Amino acid sequence: MTETENLQFDADHIWHPYSSAAYPSTIHEVVSADGVRLTLKDGREIIDGMASWWSTIHGYNHPRLNQAAKDQIDQMSHVMFGGLTHQPAIDLSSKLIEMTAEPLQHVFFADSGSVSVEVAIKMAIQYFFAQGQTKKQRLLTVRGGYHGDSFGAMAVCDPVNGMHSMFEQILPKHLFAPLPTCESDEDWQDEDIAEFRDLIKNNHDELAAVIIEPLVQGAGGMRFYCPEYLRQIRVLCDQYDVLLILDEIATGFGRTGSLFAYEQAQIVPDILCVGKAITGGYMSFAATLCSRQVAQGIAADGSGVLMHGPTFMANPLACRVANESLALLAESDWQTQVADIEQQLLAELMPYQDLALVKQVRVKGAIGVIELKQKLDDQMDWLPKFIVEQGVWIRPFSNLVYIMPPYIIDAADLTVLTQAMGKIVEQLSLKLLSR
């Protein structure tokens, strides 16, 4: 089929993320990808500022990741993990245990980030259930968070301003503290944690866990908050016998400047969710790690059976590619790459702070965000086409224009992205402020 025919078929039959079948959004057909560039069917090349939703940290079409996938296919692409094991899963578990905090010694492989959150929630509830504390069935989190689109994960996303408000009546009722607002430890005040403290103090007898994205709230709003908030949460969880789940699906593997964001707060979670960049963006894969205390606690009733088991759990092909992706990360100078991206983002995005439409510019690690004073929901008929015309791929949402590029991006390509962000904001200013 021609490109026009392909796109028409797509519009008529295929659902894309957060799209309407009745009113399909503008899409572009990609035929290949290499490094930081996507090649469209019409021949145009565009620089990807999204790293395919933050996952392709090494860039596209990496020869070592390609070879790892090819080698594994020749051995076996999949085998069930029930009653069987294989070397790629053993190697990957070893890598994850080695690169995370020492207490995290048990690994559960999942198909996606949402599933890893589901597993983490089950771990927490089963931990207390196995010890006879059957009332501890709820979670505490903060507003503005995002943890996935499956039902357990949706229940701990923001229930009012998040993407899942229409399901509110059938989701479990968890507890929500106000948004973390303190951006710097230097500005910390005890009142920043006061309402959170009251919620855990007054409800700890029914709370199994706190779940939170450390330092960066991702798809819920690209907000950053200070490490002291996390340290305070860790103290409160210990004080009131509540487990701490950290969702590092977006922040893990170097995105914020440390290998894991929790390291910047010098704390350790009881349960850790990782995903996205784990395979370098090659395929959907994730993992949930927990401490010995949690794993042994789940077994305290004599059975110890964690009630989850995906068909494609520990898929050998995904494990093999993940092993190579983590090896690439370990061998690279990713700390310098991320630090250089951060400094360039600060230098090139901060001038846009002065634009009338801009509410705030913020940067952390390899994350650059321009928050606007108005939402963009009614601008998506023309905006995707305009973005591609700038030679880039950026996907704004709500009132945010942001990028999270591959770590391998060079300074010249990053400048193209930041300049495109400025052009997007300027064009939006003409349309929104002239009304």
CATH architecture of 3-58+333-432: Alpha-Beta Complex (3.90)
Residue 284 gets the label, from left (phi > 0), alpha (psi -120 to 50) or beta, of: beta
Residue 279 CA to residue 318 CA, distance in Å, equals 7
According to CATH, where is 3.40.640.10 located in the chain? 65-331
According to CATH, where is 3.90.1150.10 located in the chain? 3-58+333-432
Query: What confidence score (pLDDT) does residue 301 get?
Result: 79
From 216, 227, 298, select the one nearest 255 (Cα to Cα).
Answer: 216
Percentages helix, strand, coil for the chain, rounded to the nearest 5?
Answer: 45, 15, 40
147 with 156: CB under 8 angstroms? yes
Residue 102 CA to residue 418 CA, distance in Å, equals 39
Classify strands 216-217 and 223-224 as parallel, antiparallel or unpaired.
antiparallel
Residue 275 CA to residue 113 CA, distance in Å, equals 5
51 with 337: CB under 8 angstroms? no
Query: What confidence score (pLDDT) does residue 435 get?
Result: 64
Question: 247, 364, 407, 413: which is the annotated catalytic residue?
Answer: 247
Q: What residues are paired with 286 via a beta bridge?
A: 110
Query: What confidence score (pLDDT) does residue 197 get?
Result: 98
Residue 139 CA to residue 358 CA, distance in Å, equals 35
Would you call 276 a catalytic residue per the annotation? Answer: yes
From 360, 367, 326, select the one nearest 345 (Cα to Cα).
Answer: 367
User: Other CB atoms closer than 10 Å to residue 71's CB: what's the count?
Assistant: 13
Query: What confidence score (pLDDT) does residue 365 get?
Result: 98
CATH architecture of 65-331: 3-Layer(aba) Sandwich (3.40)
Question: 60, 127, 146, 352: which is the annotated catalytic residue?
Answer: 146
pLDDT tens, the chain, 435 aa long: 788 999 999 999 999 998 888 888 889 999 999 999 999 999 999 999 999 999 999 999 999 999 999 999 999 999 999 999 999 999 999 999 999 999 999 999 999 999 999 999 999 999 999 999 999 999 999 999 999 999 999 999 988 777 788 898 899 999 999 999 999 999 999 999 999 999 999 999 999 999 999 999 999 999 999 999 999 999 999 999 999 999 999 999 999 999 999 999 999 999 999 999 999 999 999 999 999 999 999 998 777 789 899 999 999 999 999 999 999 999 999 999 999 999 999 999 999 999 999 999 999 999 999 999 999 988 888 999 999 999 999 999 999 999 999 999 999 999 999 999 999 999 999 988 766
* pTM assigned to the model: 0.97
User: Other CB atoms closer than 10 Å to residue 360's CB: what's the count?
Assistant: 12
Residue 46 CA to residue 15 CA, distance in Å, equals 23
What are the E-state strand segments in 251-343? 271-274, 286-291
Q: Which two tokens stand for residue 212?
A: 């939170």
Q: Which two tokens stand for residue 188?
A: 């910390």
402 with 367: CB under 8 angstroms? yes
Would you call 225 a catalytic residue per the annotation? Answer: no
From 75, 123, 428, 165, select the one nearest 272 (Cα to Cα).
Answer: 123
Would you call 146 a catalytic residue per the annotation? Answer: yes
Would you call 247 a catalytic residue per the annotation? Answer: yes
Question: 122, 136, 276, 364: which is the annotated catalytic residue?
Answer: 276
Phi and psi torsions of 212, nearest 5°: -155, 150
* Contacts of residue 83, Cβ cutoff 8 Å, sequence gap at least 6: none
